[in-house]
Structure 1
């Protein structure tokens, strides 16, 4: 869509007149470094113990080496609280409090709890005994991913199965900076002392040959003794236990085959084959050897005799995939062709390009899809999508038969979710806007949430190995929902057991924005994270109680008396001057500093990020984790801060993925200037990560701004496409960051063509080649252990230097995607403040 953009301010939801800052205490960097937080929480099956993750004050963390940044992802300690007896919460006894620690899941009896711990690059997995108050740590390092592929599985009351890495290896998803630092240091010492060669070789063809198995082990671990046995050599993903506990399905991971065209274009270039393990004999059985499968798509039938997964012919395109059902007794594979349907991608709700989960419904499958218009080819589709697309018809759950026939199971229901709540023999439970429904294989539909009205939202739990909102949780006997109503919200817990389905209990939420962390029908309790001004409270609400929820603990009391500032909405139109399309209304967000009055206009920081919705935070503002990039830090220093809406449909044009961004940003800024609250002569651009290249691109097309700060991004689409993936290229051979460019759907920088095919597109969208057009002073900041290669900003600084521009370049050593250590965070803010003051973008004294 080619748009010449103009704007018309429709409505500014602000008072008029200029503004200045009175004496009010805002959030400082020192305040942020003391912030605590809460992570996941679990209630044991008996309903007695609440175990939760508590992030210690950030400047008290002994280890800032986690992955490519530490804040929000580490600092966790495990605490427990006795829901039955009350009292004070305490750190989980019998476990080392120094490492970062995260919850896994309880064993079926609730006696054991899976725990993962991390310290300076080493990740371990342990079983904690709730009775003995001690843990056993298994010797193998677990494979790890936040996307659900490597979640460990309890196969009995005392045994755990997990995917492990080869001896001496650690998962990059937790340990990449620490491992790289150790290996670099060792190699340097070896070279300087002539202790041996230090060369490292990467090849376009894997050393063990194309398609070789990924190294690792499938480990069976005993929680009582700590002993482990190896079920199989090789790395395995998507561990799924059958309902009867006899069989374990898993996907064997193989290296990519460079001769395979799919290896060059897909998000995950590895291959996955299906294996089932008999847990009695320990014997494996390879199933459907001619297919490869997508991880995190396996599902068992309730009887444990069949399983389904999304797969395709080896060497093919995942978009040509189908769900396949495998009969364990015969090995027969049945392909379910979803003619007339387009499978919904998980990317639509913010994650990966993979179909939503399927479940068995008798002999059929239930899947989440859209009908293909009758005027189009009815061949089965799996279309890659953008995040939160606004142009697609609503999807539904369909029953799909092996012969290709399908029937809509949720027709007429509004806002049906693709995350199933439960499934059993001949039935599936889903949720929609107005409630929870059990769907039968004959098409019968029963509303389980009878008597409860409001807008429903399923609270699927998340863990360290599968983040909340992404997890495809194993079905439980109960489910928890937030139900929003006029005047507040309540938490509804539904019993899903056969014969008991639909029985429920409700607990009033302490506030509309209170986040339920865990709930238990057995305990009759829901545990909430709630804001009390800037203070975070952990609360337990009880069924049948008219008393306020009991407070378990409170965090961030040091923020009492701190003023976050005030968010205001600025609404305006972005219109097509040619009149080909109607104007599109947009709304951007302006954060005013604490104590803003009407004496003088404010300096403005314009934060640039592609695809931003421009949604303003609601009431009850709080800081949930130590965020060194928080807008409240700008407000605390006296700046106004703007989060300008940049919808993909307006910034993506035939000229490039963000070619329309400068006009969209300028339109939002003009609307904000029109409020009279900001000084048009003191406006700076700021961009972090994808926002960094975006801010530089805007600076090359507009002379409105007095300064631009670009942090931890890239600047040259050519070299970014072909070059090393930052820290992942040092020892791990990850080269070629082309995945976001080759496919338009789902990527903020999708071009759809390679540099071989359209070099000019890459040239004209790269800030490096636009350096002569940047007349704004530039501050570049980057880190040596980021996944965006620091060489990108080496290029950008060199281009600005050759073009004779005003630029400075700050590099942080040992850091990843932005600074993690408090010392470097403080240094970053001091340097940004000095740079802005030097160029006239500073608050009044």
Structure 2
């Protein structure tokens, strides 16, 4: 790539997050020992009566019972469920009936609050159970639930003592949570059988049949009686987006097909499946399909408050999400009404970091409320749903609109600021939305009433998550009430909001118990809120109750051993970045520089982390350390290194030559700005990348020669073989994942590596962006690390190492066995950092003055 002379640097070096507390000038930086002792806090929830509070506490990382969960254990396992009886004021206790050695997560309370659904995992075994809150007894159900964090497969309560959930078929029970453990066990059995010679160990993968409809995906719809522990099969097949009707007698769901054949003439934005709308009569057990010929997006279904209509986002067979419309179906007659949003472009959930599906719509009487923006000039007659990237800049403002069946629409929030895309609560007379000015109810007639005035402070919706629905997905169900944080005013605290069952919901305010305390759960009925106070490393849970001590009641405290750790100082380095293909296109960006604690050494060795699409933030609210991340920049700072996250906005790293073809120019410009601060030794700059950052780092290393060394971990190196190759560990037990990487390169938006063509049609774009083919251009020593059970095949780094070997380069290649997306085992985490230390010393990039003790 051409090397640009650095343009004028607008240098703004400002300390943004000075973590060093007063009086601890000699405090030690973060060590690996301290990180591996980290605890954590997860979800918390009150039951519907306000009597019970449950919360997740994550035990110290080095004490986990096993590290086999998914493709990495940190940040996602180690959880234990604790309960508090607010009625008798007892102290928090581990939830009885749950295996104390298992990882356990909160799922949901029964409608009457007497039972709690819990997910458990231990050594490859995953389960759904229900526990009696009064006695603590738990029933574990079979078959094993099909679940993930997206909300597609949430279990639902259909009564106070019955749950319905989607289950996995026999042989696939551990293919998700226990992916590594299950794969290891299956391979061990297969190898042993082949060596014995008495058992056939082959399998066969077939391309998909050329038909317009596919067989159902494997699985079951199961009804579990939580009192007896008995389960019955309601239906064969896989069902997503389970939605109970307001009357509790019917269950809507999406029947999921197996993968459909790929169209060789159409780009793939997702693995093609069909999702058909069905509903079950829970009294008779009968099943009926609705909206024939319509393919629905998961997690978009909603019942009308009267229970006579269903709303969802769907498109006709042969179409796709961009041609989708919101559809309303009358369940008694099957009549389908299409709501065409002419003149509007639906806002995508992807814009805030999740799936490429529209934000949730809601009923407004006979009409619906949608979240959208006006179409651009020239498209006024169109109804659009445009694929978007995460945080895509320059988009027109979005608002809530009332959409009529005839296609007419009216804006409902045009005079409000910072309107939220998420309804906090929904009822017959109120769709509760948030804006800068407060909380508002949008009524069935389209009128707007203010519930809370935010003039005295800002409001932030606090979503309630569970194991199967990540909280920030923010699609709360009707009737559950809501919680909002009041901040920025004279009296911060929690706004407790009741169900919107009739008219405006009730609301109550509880004052914050301490400066910086953040509410994480609340109960209007119980007059209580749970606050988290402290830094993101050390924290305490405080329970505040109406009429009680305003300082709150301590329930849990974690990570006291980190209170005196000096994490270092974040700085923002601002400069102007030009587009590599057009110098007339430029913008001001900022990269983040972390300086180590307790050092006066200048200049410092620097670790430069790259990841495509990064627009880093280094404001004071940036988390210090929210979980025991073995890839944490604070471990580098604790060793005496400076660390930088380089700004690599997607629009400035992609060119006509490919999605990362301009990354080297963007990195070079950022380095010039960092060097201008005077803090960095230009001869001790090490380029590092993990996951998508690994292929990026290797590419930059081949086109820029400013680095003393290169570290690339758990990524890929050859875009063509990655496109066609297996998706790592996922291909072994579930061959449906073959072809899963097509999407990364073909998607119109939402992917940092989108080329918009296949290797059949544009082979040059794939090899121009593949660092394996530029190995001869890499001059710096290289450290490669990968794992055999990653979702990125380790074969990719086998290729990269072989290319460096053949090119006569200085490379070393570390392979971790039994690990997924980076090491999870404490032993392997320690080994990884020992190898980092040895590599840095070998290439001469260590600090001139020794940092604090490494362990």
User: Do they superpose with TM above 0.5?
Assistant: yes
**Which of residues 773, 777, 792 is equivalent to 2:777?**
773
CA–CA distance in 1 between the matches of 2:183 and 2:267? 26
1:567 equivalent in structure 2? 570
Q: Is the 8 A contact 1:143 1:171 kept in 2?
A: no
Q: In the TM superposition, what whole-angstrom CA distance separates every residue of 1:283-315 from its partner, at most 9, and x where no partner exists? A: 111112211111111111111111011111223
Q: Note if 1:817 corresponds to 2:792.
A: no
Q: In the TM superposition, what whole-angstrom CA distance separates every residue of 1:184-225 from its partner, at most 9, and x where no partner exists? A: 000010011113111121111269996011111111111111
Where in structure 2 are the equivalents of 1:40-119 lying within 5 Å? 40-119=43-122
Go from structure 1 to structure 2 and tell me whether the alpha carbon gap of 1:440 and 1:261 turns closer, same or farther (over 3 Å shift): farther
Go from structure 1 to structure 2 and tell me whether the alpha carbon gap of 1:434 and 1:243 turns closer, same or farther (over 3 Å shift): same
CA–CA distance in 2 between the matches of 1:461 and 1:452? 25
User: Shift of residue 508 of structure 1?
Assistant: 3.4
CA–CA distance in 2 between the matches of 1:587 and 1:119? 43
Give the SS at the match of 2:764.
helix
1:35 equivalent in structure 2? 38
Where in structure 2 are the equivalents of 1:696-735 lying within 5 Å? 696-733=698-735, 734-735=737-738
Give the SS at the match of 2:184.
helix
Q: Note if 1:595 corresponds to 2:614.
A: no
**Which of residues 756, 765, 768 is equivalent to 1:764?**
768
Q: In the TM superposition, what whole-angstrom CA distance separates every residue of 1:730-756 from its partner, at most 9, and x where no partner exists? A: 232122311011123111111111111
User: Shift of residue 457 of structure 1?
Assistant: 1.7
1:806 equivalent in structure 2? 810
Give the SS at the match of 2:350.
helix
Q: Is the 8 A contact 1:5 1:576 kept in 2?
A: no
Give the SS at the match of 1:581.
strand
Q: Is the 8 A contact 1:275 1:284 kept in 2?
A: yes
Query: Which stretch of structure 1 is more off in the superposition, 4-13 or 679-688?
Result: 4-13
CA–CA distance in 2 between the matches of 1:586 and 1:248? 50
Aligned alpha-carbon RMSD (Å)? 2.3
Go from structure 1 to structure 2 and tell me whether the alpha carbon gap of 1:229 and 1:99 turns closer, same or farther (over 3 Å shift): same
2:385 equivalent in structure 1? 382
CA–CA distance in 2 between the matches of 1:531 and 1:9? 37
**Which of residues 367, 380, 392 is equivalent to 2:370?**
367
Q: Is the 8 A contact 2:329 2:336 kept in 1?
A: yes
Q: In the TM superposition, what whole-angstrom CA distance separates every residue of 1:650-709 from its partner, at most 9, and x where no partner exists? A: 112222112221121122222111111121111101110111011111111111110010
Give the SS at the match of 1:182.
helix
User: Shift of residue 146 of structure 1?
Assistant: 0.8
Q: Is the 8 A contact 2:580 2:662 kept in 1?
A: no
2:361 equivalent in structure 1? 358
Go from structure 1 to structure 2 and tell me whether the alpha carbon gap of 1:178 and 1:210 turns closer, same or farther (over 3 Å shift): farther
Go from structure 1 to structure 2 and tell me whether the alpha carbon gap of 1:274 and 1:333 turns closer, same or farther (over 3 Å shift): same
CA–CA distance in 2 between the matches of 1:628 and 1:600? 27
Consecutive unaligned residues in structure 1, runs of 5 or more:
16-20
User: Shift of residue 47 of structure 1?
Assistant: 1.6
Go from structure 1 to structure 2 and tell me whether the alpha carbon gap of 1:442 and 1:699 turns closer, same or farther (over 3 Å shift): same
User: Shift of residue 169 of structure 1?
Assistant: 2.2
CA–CA distance in 1 between the matches of 2:237 and 2:175? 17
Go from structure 1 to structure 2 and tell me whether the alpha carbon gap of 1:402 and 1:499 turns closer, same or farther (over 3 Å shift): closer
Q: Is the 8 A contact 1:356 1:367 kept in 2?
A: yes
Q: Is the 8 A contact 1:531 1:620 kept in 2?
A: no
Q: Is the 8 A contact 1:297 1:309 kept in 2?
A: yes
Go from structure 1 to structure 2 and tell me whether the alpha carbon gap of 1:774 and 1:534 turns closer, same or farther (over 3 Å shift): same
Q: In the TM superposition, what whole-angstrom CA distance separates every residue of 1:709-740 from its partner, at most 9, and x where no partner exists? A: 00000111000111100001123212231101
Q: Is the 8 A contact 1:536 1:624 kept in 2?
A: no
Where in structure 2 are the equivalents of 1:162-311 lying within 5 Å? 162-170=165-173, 172-205=175-208, 211-258=214-261, 260=263, 265-311=268-314
CA–CA distance in 2 between the matches of 1:693 and 1:515? 38
User: Shift of residue 3 of structure 1?
Assistant: 11
Go from structure 1 to structure 2 and tell me whether the alpha carbon gap of 1:166 and 1:577 turns closer, same or farther (over 3 Å shift): closer
Go from structure 1 to structure 2 and tell me whether the alpha carbon gap of 1:669 and 1:226 turns closer, same or farther (over 3 Å shift): same
Q: Is the 8 A contact 1:210 1:258 kept in 2?
A: no
Give the SS at the match of 2:9.
strand
Q: Note if 1:690 corresponds to 2:692.
A: yes
Q: Note if 1:449 corresponds to 2:452.
A: yes
CA–CA distance in 1 between the matches of 2:765 and 2:580? 25
Give the SS at the match of 2:259.
coil
CA–CA distance in 2 between the matches of 1:578 and 1:159? 60
Give the SS at the match of 1:541.
strand
**Which of residues 137, 156, 161 is equivalent to 2:164?**
161
Consecutive unaligned residues in structure 2, runs of 5 or more:
16-23, 851-855
CA–CA distance in 2 between the matches of 1:4 and 1:549? 58
Give the SS at the match of 2:8.
strand
Query: Which stretch of structure 1 is more off in the superposition, 521-530 or 776-785?
Result: 521-530
User: Shift of residue 757 of structure 1?
Assistant: 1.2
Go from structure 1 to structure 2 and tell me whether the alpha carbon gap of 1:129 and 1:787 turns closer, same or farther (over 3 Å shift): same
Q: Is the 8 A contact 2:481 2:497 kept in 1?
A: yes
CA–CA distance in 2 between the matches of 1:578 and 1:241? 53
Query: TM-score when scaled to structure 1?
Result: 0.95
User: Shift of residue 132 of structure 1?
Assistant: 2.0
Q: Is the 8 A contact 2:493 2:519 kept in 1?
A: no
User: Shift of residue 528 of structure 1?
Assistant: 1.9
